[in-house]
Structure 1
Amino acid sequence: MVIPPEVVVEDRIEQLKENTKRTLMSISNPIKRMKLIDTIQRLGVGHHFEEEIHEVLENLPQVLPDDDLYTVALHFRLRRHNGLHTHPDIFHNYLDTNGKFKMSSNDDIEALLSLYEASYLGTNDEDILTHAKEFTTRQLERLVSELNPKLGAKVLLSLGLPRHFRMTRLEARRYIEEYGNEDDHNPIVLELAKLDYNHVQSLLRSELVEVTKWWKDLGLMNKLSFVRDRHIECFIWTVGLLPDKKYSGGRIELAKIIAILLVIDDIYDIYGSYEDLVLFTNAIRRWDLSEMKQLPEYMKICYIALYSTTSEICDKVFKEHGLSVQPFVHQTWIEMVEAYMVEVEWMKSGTMPTFEDYIKNGITTSGTCMALVHLFFLISEGVTQENMRQLLVPYPKFFSLAGTILRLWDDLGTSKEEQERGNVVSSIQLLMKEENITSEEEGRKQILQLIHELWKDLNAELVTPNALLVPIIKVALNMSRTSQVVYEHNEESYLTSVESQVEYMFFKSIDI
């Protein structure tokens, strides 16, 4: 009997997981334990050890043996990243009499970088972390040109995109290569990361094949001339939101929903007449196939695609979790098309909305609430028919936070393209108008600052959650990370084109 190669790989992964787990739980030095946890999570295999990591971090002493800045900042960042509240007062020892951070002769670049990365997990009421961010940014920008090439590249990468903002799968791929070049790397952990990355990549490829087949079978490309082929882009989103292997089903279903959403978005933005859009909106409100009779042919095709796909997802949730979720799913689509219709009315009447009204409506048109509601039912555990309404009505605060970040990044990345396609309103132009900003560059800078402030509120949600909402809070964080990856493309930075992301995430495996 010949054992299939994938079985051999899976067995080896299990062996390496057990070895890594034993190492993590047997290390007595708390600082070495923290460094190993940090490495494991950066390599993209932290989800295999969630219970062990939580146990270690919960039981770490408040005062560590070597109470240096690097260690204190690492301790703070790891606990916050893993949803454990840690008070920022632990940084008070590093302030001078004026409350400003001070440089110590013992503080090296790694310590500054550790504090810099920790500062991005602060919340809006934690001024000390705001000061830490400003202080470390100044120091690192001042010193980076004096560093050796390897360390300088590391600092520039973090200044361009802090670790807290990086997309899990892309960062795992990048760091596996970096970690393998470190002299003190753990060969067992490195082998686990490589094998696991390739193993999950193989799974993602098979999921992409399934989504591609579904998209072709749906036939929207053949039936509707205006439909853009964006199902691969949709799948990038799902991998960003749900990077763990166990969420395979959730990725596939969400990719379908996003693909249909993009078609409907184009109908409201460009192709639908006002009268037809009113009919389509009313048909979605009633959610009845008999409503299709009054729709034009191209809208009938979209309506049946949406109706059948969402019905299949609701059936899947009922079979797997015993939950009847159709009313919640239907409501998200009503909210979507009504928000689209608000934009149509603005365009028709020549109304220029306020920045606040635009963002409030844009949270919905971004698809955030729609995606999070679907995923809440597809991936959450412990949800019952009784507590669903309590958890989702009204939507939790992190829905709107992630939605605002997504809307702002979308505008930063596509505002010129959208204007060419007929959408003249964006957050950048509205903010410039209200704040009397004459330079688009300055307007963009203020939008970026607003995104950073929203991240602080999102961080607060991570450390004060209802346990049942933890999985979907993590999805909201990942949505905010993926927004930046999808919409900010800079050839000189960590972020690259969608084509490069596809190549790295789905097709380019790591040499073992």
Structure 2
Amino acid sequence: MLVTVKMAGIRSISIPLHSSSPEILSNFEPLPSGSPRLLSQRAFPQQRRRSWFCMSQSDRMPPITHHDPLPKPLPLHHTPVLQSQTKHLRRKTIEELQERTQKELQTSSDPVVTLKLIDTLQQLGIAYHFKEDINKLLERFSEYNSGDDLFVTALRFRLLRHNGFPTCSGIFDKFINKKGRFKETLSKDTWGLLSLYEASYLGAKGEVQLLQAMEFTKTHLMQSKPTMTAQLSEHVARSLEIPRHLRMERLEARNYIDEYSRGNNCSMALLELARLDFDMVQSLHQKELEEIFRWWKQLGLVDKLSFGRDRPMECFLWTVGIFPEPCQSRCRIELTKTIAILLVIDDIFDTYGSLNELILFTDAIKRWNLGAMEQLPDYMKICYMTLHNTTNDIAYWVLKEHGLSNIIPYLKRTWIEIIEAFLIEAKWFDRGYVPTFDEYLANGVISGGTCMALVHAFFLMGQGVMKETEAMMEPYPRCFTSSGKILRLWDDLGTSREEQERGDVASSIECLMKEKNIALEDGARKYVRQLIGSLWIELNGELVAPTGLPLSTIKASFNLSRTAQAIYQHGNDNTTSSVQHHVQSLFFSPIGFNVTLSNI
């Protein structure tokens, strides 16, 4: 049997459906789209959707699905990136450019030139090709050089810490005067200031120099902007808006390719490699989306549960943020499945289930066996069975791929905790209770989905997983909870005003205003932004004092926080357009390029 799947901005594809476990859903009758239950029987008619995987809590945002194009005004003009007749030539060109770049890395005798090259490779999104060479070079250049100027000192520090190498903030002491402040003479060194500014965002707890550096550089960069060249001013403005350390990796690659192409020191070889690589990765993402939509269509979950969100595209955007490297394809696909199911369960708690039904569902999840679902209404049975089977499928894949045989208890625990957190918020809303800020955030770390996503990511990646590291999943590692708080707070900054107008459950903004008697919302928002900054300092501590977690897992928690900022940074009115832009630029808009080396 063939079905046609229409994806946003991509051609329709015909997909064969084969017999598999999702077809058991055919035993259930679909809920009518206009079911009166949606109006008369749901317990919480205005409750907000608490899961962060929805890009906007607004009911006005059209879903991004395989049924409809992205909402206007953004047009989706998609041209298949890689035609078969040019694939071979492009692969050959990429290989030649990789060899040239690798040779440049290996033969460079100037540490400063090498550090700049590594930095450029990372910004262009192509450093993963040279990971082994880069690690060897950073290890070689990790020793402090007292003769380095501000630019090089800060660049070396940032690259080492970003890549997990030990480094001490004391290397900046020589730039501090006897009064304990950065020397004012540094204010004339714009590139040095910018380098120090970027490095300051990797500061950990107790690194006072980097906190001072952040304020010092920000002040002087803003004062100097009017006298800068247009190109430098644009570069500085982008850094002041969102520093490098906080940027979503694939979006940074897309944006920097454009910026780099306009620079005076642009290497045509690196630019061509970055363009070719980006479009190759984009083609991979399109194939991943085809598989995800095939699975989603075959599953038929939202066809049976008409109230559920149908947003696999948005879920995939999050996983691209968490897993940016091409080799993590299966991780993206499997985590997208998990998130898509979570959204529908979230909708049961927010818009459809009665309180008694939600209690029954929570109890069934705790029991975690198919017999437990007999007590549930049919629509909950569908979701329960889907979750149970998908979790088992993921565990089976992890067993085959990584040889990890006992991960079900860990995955089950994350689902039990997130469902319990959903129920707590449902009860709060039912009672009209406004929690304290600490209560809200402690529960929001779980209900937001961060810990669930990162535990799945930990096992899907499989790197460095041993009995000792498995045990670190309980309780959750600090980087998981810090990332979860960052995400929950960004979500509230981006959506709370609209939710307040609709009368939804209190967000962190409202909790703060009530608890601390803050009269103006802007005051609470400022407090939340400061707290996010403190949480990043906490998160950075994972790079300073390793806890035993694999670096890949730590990076996934960082990446999740970066993705949250990329999506929610501009608030209610711009969240939808931000998502549209990110989806378009990452998955459907190719970058123009030449496929020969004749002009390089």
Normalized against structure 2, the TM-score is what? Answer: 0.82
Contact residue 380 and residue 468 of structure 1 kept, 8 A: no
- Aligned partner (choices 346, 353, 362) of residue 272 of structure 1: 353
- Aligned partner (choices 144, 151, 159) of residue 225 of structure 2: 144
CA gap 1:85/1:496 in 2 versus in 1, 3 angstroms: farther
User: Matched residues in 1 for 2:273 and 2:116: separation?
Assistant: 17
Aligned to 2:434: 352
Aligned to 1:55: 136
Runs of 5+ consecutive residues of structure 2 not aligned to the other structure: 1-82, 594-600
- Aligned partner (choices 433, 448, 469) of residue 550 of structure 2: 469
Q: Does 1:368 pair with 2:456?
A: no
% identity of equivalent residues: 49
Q: How far apart are residue 435 of structure 1 and its match?
A: 2.0
Aligned to 1:25: 106
1:83-162 map, 5 Å: 83-104=164-185, 107-162=188-243
Q: CA RMSD in A?
A: 2.1
Aligned to 1:210: 291
- The 3-state SS of whatever aligns with 2:204 is coil
Aligned to 2:269: 188
User: Matched residues in 1 for 2:571 and 2:93: separation?
Assistant: 38
Q: Does 1:174 pair with 2:248?
A: no
Q: How far apart are residue 148 of structure 1 and its match?
A: 2.1
More RCO (CA 8 Å, sep 6+) = 2
Contact residue 289 and residue 304 of structure 1 kept, 8 A: yes
User: Matched residues in 1 for 2:146 and 2:174: separation?
Assistant: 15
CA gap 1:207/1:231 in 2 versus in 1, 3 angstroms: same
Q: How far apart are residue 260 of structure 1 and its match?
A: 0.8
Contact residue 335 and residue 457 of structure 2 kept, 8 A: yes
User: Matched residues in 2 for 1:493 and 1:181: separation?
Assistant: 27
User: Matched residues in 2 for 1:189 and 1:467: separation?
Assistant: 35
Q: How far apart are residue 14 of structure 1 and its match?
A: 2.3
Q: How far apart are residue 292 of structure 1 and its match?
A: 2.0
User: Matched residues in 2 for 1:56 and 1:236: separation?
Assistant: 33
More helix by share: 1
Q: How far apart are residue 462 of structure 1 and its match?
A: 2.1
Q: How far apart are residue 464 of structure 1 and its match?
A: 2.6
- Please say which of residues 199-208 and 2-11 is displaced more in the overlay: 2-11
User: Matched residues in 2 for 1:373 and 1:90: separation?
Assistant: 36
- Please say which of residues 85-94 and 363-372 is displaced more in the overlay: 85-94
User: Matched residues in 1 for 2:325 and 2:213: separation?
Assistant: 32
Contact residue 247 and residue 379 of structure 1 kept, 8 A: yes
Cα offsets for 1:189-217 (capped at 9, x unmatched): 22111111100000001101111121222
User: Matched residues in 2 for 1:464 and 1:256: separation?
Assistant: 34
Contact residue 489 and residue 495 of structure 1 kept, 8 A: no
CA gap 1:233/1:345 in 2 versus in 1, 3 angstroms: same
- AA aligned to 1:122 is G
Contact residue 77 and residue 117 of structure 1 kept, 8 A: yes
- The 3-state SS of whatever aligns with 1:387 is helix
User: Matched residues in 1 for 2:89 and 2:456: separation?
Assistant: 35
- Aligned partner (choices 391, 394, 407) of residue 488 of structure 2: 407
- Aligned partner (choices 267, 282, 286) of residue 363 of structure 2: 282
CA gap 1:79/1:363 in 2 versus in 1, 3 angstroms: same
Q: How far apart are residue 8 of structure 1 and its match?
A: 2.9
Q: Does 1:230 pair with 2:311?
A: yes
- Aligned partner (choices 280, 289, 298) of residue 199 of structure 1: 280
- AA aligned to 1:375 is A
Cα offsets for 1:150-205 (capped at 9, x unmatched): 11111111111111111111110111111112222222222111111100000001
User: Matched residues in 1 for 2:374 and 2:493: separation?
Assistant: 40
- Aligned partner (choices 441, 451, 454) of residue 522 of structure 2: 441
1:279-428 map, 5 Å: 279-323=360-404, 324-384=406-466, 386-419=467-500, 423-428=504-509
1:477-492 map, 5 Å: 477-489=558-570
Q: How far apart are residue 130 of structure 1 and its match?
A: 0.5
CA gap 1:44/1:458 in 2 versus in 1, 3 angstroms: same
Q: How far apart are residue 380 of structure 1 and its match?
A: 2.4
Count of aligned positions = 510
- The 3-state SS of whatever aligns with 1:428 is helix
Cα offsets for 1:343-382 (capped at 9, x unmatched): 1222223322111111111110011111111111110223
Q: How far apart are residue 107 of structure 1 and its match?
A: 3.8
Cα offsets for 1:445-497 (capped at 9, x unmatched): 11011001100111110233255521110000000000011212379999961
Contact residue 328 and residue 461 of structure 2 kept, 8 A: yes
